[in-house]
Amino acid sequence: MSRPKNKTLTVWLALLGGSMGLHRFYLRGLGDWLGWLHPIAAALGWWGVERVQTYGQDDQLSWVLIPFLGASIAVACLVAIVYALSDRAKWNGWFNPGLDSESAAGGTNWLTIGALVLALLVGTTAFMGSLAFGIQHYFEYQIEEAKKISQ
């Protein structure tokens, strides 16, 4: 039987390395194909950040790419929140099916709560920041196009 999957460790992995899929690799192993999609989304977002630094804020491709990074971070934080709020029996049923439903591996402690609070903070900031960035640049583009039509 494999080692029990610890809820607190998983929540911290999702918070700190979730955009790279570390929590999924911990829970399901390196063969998890969804885990490998996480770094792709994060890399696209970082490419958008690099494009802004190289070409400036008028680069339209970066407007599309940067929200991938924000969404990747926000989704990882959402997963951390869901895992942190799951009760012991549910966690052990999901990831430790061979153990007793009240096994300590699915327990919540202060480190879990600390990660939960940070996930709420970071996830909300990433989501709102990427949403604001994308919407702002979309409307700026619309205004520029309207100016071209009116001239």
Residue pLDDT, tens place only, 89-134: 999 999 999 889 899 999 999 999 999 999 999 999 999 988 888 8
More confident residue, 75 or 1: 75
- Cα–Cα nearest to 28, from 50, 47, 2, 8: 2
Model pLDDT for residues 9-60, shown as the tens digit of each residue: 999 999 999 999 999 999 999 999 999 999 999 999 999 999 999 998 888 8
**What does the pLDDT read at residue 1?**
53
CB atoms within 10 A of CB 17: 17
Asked if the model's pLDDT at residue 81 lies above 80, the reply is: yes
Q: Based on the number of CB atoms within 10 Å of its own CB, is 66 exposed (0-12), middle (13-18) or buried (19 or more)?
A: buried
Place of tokens 């012991």: 88
